[in-house]
Amino acid sequence: MMKTTFLNTFAAIILIAFSSLMAQESKLITGTIGKEHMVGKKLVICELGTQACMFLDIDPNLETMINGKTYKPQELQVGWYLQAEVSKDQKADQLISRLDVDPNKTIVCFTELNEHQNKALEKQLREIKGIKRVKTYLKSRQVYIEYDQKTISYPEIENQITGLGYKIE
């Protein structure tokens, strides 16, 4: 009798542990660090292909290596492109467990961007010194940009875009 109770209890513990592991799912989010940057312990990510900014929990001790230098989340700059591995914990909170950042890429979000503006914007961006590649996402009103940060900075890209008459979110 005591052996059966022990086995039942042990089996229940194993089942709960397995269920907890299965409940944790992870996904990769691609985007850019939003203008709000950090809100408390949450990193703001504007996700590529959507019109949404996400506020995701991040361990303040998490570090990422960029060009041979180690950065903490609060040291990351607005506009830097990233891929974040996000896991859901048992409370269904989303937590960034890994972060890869590339400061030579960005995603710019627009308040409006129609087909005509889209084609003109692509052409205008390609003419700016330091911008290497441009890809627009008309449905989400976003533009993915690869650039040489030694030639042009993210704030300078934003200034060029707004100087051309476009409105950025």
- Whether residue 26 contacts residue 98, with contact meaning beta carbons closer than 8 Å, is answered with no
- Residue ranges covered by each domain of the chain: 26-102, 105-163
pLDDT by 10-residue block (mean), the chain, 169 residues: 48 42 69 88 92 87 92 92 86 82 96 88 95 94 96 96 93
**Tell me, what DSSP letter sits at residue 76?**
P
Instruction: Give the pLDDT confidence of 157-169 residue by residue, as tens digits.
Output: 999 999 999 999 8
Q: What is the pTM for the complete model shown?
A: 0.80
pLDDT of amino acid 91: 65
pLDDT of amino acid 48: 95
**Residues whose CB falls within 8 Å of the CB of residue 29, separated by 6 or more in sequence, listed in order:** 45, 47, 54, 56, 83, 84, 86
CATH of domain 26-102: 2.40.50.140
Query: 52: which 2 tokens?
Result: 């949404």
Residue 35 pairs in a beta bridge with: none
**Residues whose CB falls within 8 Å of the CB of residue 145, separated by 6 or more in sequence, listed in order:** 105, 106, 107, 108, 125, 131, 133, 134, 157
CATH 3.30.428.10 is right for the domain spanning 105-163: no
